[in-house]
Amino acid sequence: MELDKIFTSHMVFAAKKPIRIYGTGKGSVTIRFAGCVKQYMSDSEKWMLELPPMEYGGPYVLEAAFEDRTEVLCDIYIGEVFLFSGQSNMQFRLMDTEIPKEEYRSNPNVRLFSTATVRNTDKFVPDDGWVICDKEYVGYWSALAYLASVEVSLAKDVAIGVIACYQGASVIESWVPERTFDKIGISLLPEEKFDDHYDETFGMWNGDGFLYNFSLCQVIPYQLSTVIWYQGESDASVSEGLVYCDELCTLIDVWRRDFGNEDLPFIVVQIADTYERMTEGWKLVQRAQEEIVSRRKNVMMVESRDVCETDDIHPKTKHKLAKRIAQALINI
């Protein structure tokens, strides 16, 4: 029997929500955590148990006693767990922003777990487990994830768990199970989906359901506090823009189901204005991101167009947008 890779020292569990512990293999396991003891006998290849919700706090130790060994995980906190997902502007590294390295700060209350990416180009991978925010390495983090999470941690004085799950140049249909959009009557041909910046090399990760299976499933059903979704640049054709709000509604519904929380909050970051790509399809995606707030509960939209450059599809100014995301995370 094994614990899932997401269970390591320095991890963060979401406060006020049942704590899910899960893994693979058949046999027995006894979990001891914060005075709670729970035993489980698995007769299938996957297992999961739940511990009662807890308030903010830590550090705690988690003991997982299997039939042949005991694993001890240390420095665990109860705090907020944020899933940062989407495409390249979410993946955009701190070292590539306008923020000088001298302003990078360590923060032991902020921890990162990175899912595997298709090309394995990120510095941190699942085998690294939960990584404590260190100024020597934070330049490799998602700029928005780092800046927003540190802001929330300082404002609320709680631990923050950052889960990084993104892929540049990704389309929304790759982030839901295969044929999900077919079931709601959306079936676009490849030439209808993409605007003129689409590159055939992106096809390796843009198959229907690919990133859902390859990336998102690495962290399902870990208990989350909030999802921050920043995507849409790759769906900016007119055909897709017209149905993007329906697609986004469906993604929210599917993710809430799979993470076992029908009220899971979502923060949608509106794609930025950019002079070179302000097509009609682009504007339709922006309008869809505004509309989602009225279509689904517990959803907030964060506007970006007035706090970043408009001459680049990847604005380097990220700190102002991160502050807006942080404020949304505090208020949602």
Say if residue 104's pLDDT is above 70.
Answer: yes
Tokens of 17: 């929500």
Span 265-293, mean pLDDT? 93
Domain with residue 66: its CATH number is 2.60.40.10
> Do 57 and 111 share a domain, yes or no?
no
Higher pLDDT, residue 16 or 206:
16
pLDDT tens digit string along 223-254? Answer: 999 999 999 999 999 999 999 999 999 999 99
> Do 170 and 101 share a domain, yes or no?
yes
Domain with residue 92: its CATH number is 3.40.50.1110
Of 54, 77, 100, the position where a domain reaches its end is: 77
- Alpha carbon distance 84, 280 (integer Å): 27
Residue 96 and residue 316 in contact, taking contact as beta carbons nearer than 8 Å: yes
Of 77, 106, 139, the position where a domain reaches its end is: 77
Mean pLDDT of the chain: 94
Tokens of 158: 């709680």
pLDDT at res. 114: 96
pLDDT bracket for residue 20 (50, 70, 90): very high
Say which residue the tokens 């739940």 belong to. Answer: 50
pLDDT tens digit string along 294-332? Answer: 999 999 999 999 999 888 889 999 999 999 999 999 998
- Facing residues of 201 across strands? none
From the list 108, 222, 204, 106, the residue with the least C-alpha distance to 165 is 222
Counted domains in the chain? 2
pLDDT bracket for residue 205 (50, 70, 90): confident
Gyration radius (Cα) of the chain, Å: 20
Residue 140 and residue 61 in contact, taking contact as beta carbons nearer than 8 Å: no
> Do 132 and 115 share a domain, yes or no?
yes
Residue 155 CB neighbour total at 10 angstroms: 12
Say if residue 197's pLDDT is above 60.
Answer: no
Of 77, 100, 120, the position where a domain reaches its end is: 77
HEC profile of 189-234: CHHHHCCCCCCHHHHHHCCCCHHHHHCHHHCCCCCCCEEEEECCHH
Q: Which amino acid is at 301?
A: M
- Minimum mean pLDDT range among 120-134, 185-199, 212-226, 229-243: 185-199
pLDDT at res. 125: 87
pLDDT at res. 194: 63
pLDDT bracket for residue 196 (50, 70, 90): low
pLDDT at res. 264: 98
Residue 4 and residue 24 in contact, taking contact as beta carbons nearer than 8 Å: yes
Residue 96 and residue 148 in contact, taking contact as beta carbons nearer than 8 Å: no
Q: What are phi and psi of 288, to 5 degrees?
A: -60, -40
Higher pLDDT, residue 121 or 84:
84
- Alpha carbon distance 332, 325 (integer Å): 10
> Do 249 and 126 share a domain, yes or no?
yes
Which domain does 28 fall in, by range? 2-77
